[in-house]
Amino acid sequence: MNRICFFDTKPYDRIYFDLLKEQYNIEVEYFEPKLGSKTAFMAKGFEVVVAFVNDKIDADTIDILYENGTRLIAMRCAGYNNVDFKHAFGKIHVVRVPAYSPYAVAEHAMALLQTLNRKTHRAYTRTRDFNFSLNGLTGFDLHGKTMGVIGTGKIGRIFIDICKGFGMNVIAYDPFPLKDTDIQYVSLEQLCRESDIISLHCPLTKDTFHLINNNTIAMMKNGVYIINTSRGALVNSEDLLEALKAEKIGGAGLDVYEEETELFYEDMSYSIIKDDILARIISMPNVIVTSHQAFLTKEALHNIAETTLLNCRGYYNNKVLSNEVCYQCSKGEACPKGQNEKCF
């Protein structure tokens, strides 16, 4: 039976991997720590390592993995901005799960907006204490409002459909607009000027890093709402905090945060949070922060486990790694991978 090791294990991960592993003739060794240069030694003897979005897969980590026999990193997520692909190229193949449930993420984005707008989280807390006052719970109709969607991949398009179901006017920005669609594309500047709510659904790249910053915020309407279920570093957190304090931004629903690596997915309730920006943002009554849980549905977890195990089995059976990403792939350059070949 083929063996893989699994970093940053959570109980909900094990349920679906344990359910499917025998079907794919794979034995899984689960490790609780995140993958990084200080924990990579644990993978010694494992040809395949399963990693996640907040693992630190830098040059040092890759070198240790490679020296100890690892030849495949299977990311159990769609994102891979935490991988040093240039250093991995020629040493370790990297595969990912390109899609698991775009509905899960899009629906969570709308849940954040609905909760933030109608303040159901605050109402729930009040009524638990038998406080039935409505003071301070006023929201606004989504119907007729303008939603600005940045990024029109699968998740972005599903979110657009959800917004249209609420009767919202939707405009979108994407540097690579889709052809033959009814999506109303505009420039980033126009989107910032006209949107009542802006929702981020784009990948993190050098071009989208801190896409939401002082300059773009200054273009926005007073009281605009920001929703981010993509990657934390799309938003400059310091600029967001200042805009919230100045009431330029009326509310923010964040499932991600740019310095989340050591915090999210962990119980920090008994710890002193040293990140003053995050602590201040969370303390604000017009902000909701969830801990990168937008993907967390039964369907998504099943699909993640299934695709990850398929990727691993493909490697062990010397099959084409259809979900492989390499340095050239990630840079948009010509990848040497042929139709029935690996990236190197």
Torsion angle, CA of 172/177/178/181, rounded to 10 degrees?
A: 40
Residue 342 vs residues 25, 72, 336: alpha-carbon distances, Å = 22, 12, 8
Instruction: Please tell me the distance from the alpha carbon of residue 132 to that of residue 218, in angstroms, as a whole number.
Output: 38
Closest CA to 266 of 52, 109, 61, 96: 52
Examine the residue annotation and report whether 292 is marked as an active-site residue of this protein.
Answer: yes
Examine the residue annotation and report whether 96 is marked as an active-site residue of this protein.
Answer: no
Three-state DSSP class for 282?
helix
Count of other CB atoms within 10 angstroms of residue 295: 21
Q: How many residues appear in the chain? A: 344
Examine the residue annotation and report whether 266 is marked as an active-site residue of this protein.
Answer: no
List, as one string, the DSSP characters of 100-166. S-HHHHHHHHHHHHHHHHHTHHHHHHHHHTT----TT------TTPEEEEE--SHHHHHHHHHHHHT
State the catalytic residue, choosing from 47, 96, 292, 306. 292
State the catalytic residue, choosing from 76, 108, 201, 231. 231
Three-state DSSP class for 178?
coil
Instruction: Please tell me the distance from the alpha carbon of residue 21 to that of residue 211, in angstroms, as a whole number.
Output: 40
Closest CA to 220 of 136, 301, 150: 150
Is 80:56 a contact under the CB 8 Å cutoff?
no
Q: In sequence order, which residues have a C-beta less than 8 Å from that of residue 275 and are 6 or more positions away?
A: 259, 263
Instruction: Please tell me the distance from the alpha carbon of residue 37 to that of residue 202, in angstroms, as a whole number.
Output: 29
State the catalytic residue, choosing from 47, 258, 260, 306. 260
Q: Which residues are catalytic?
A: 231, 260, 292
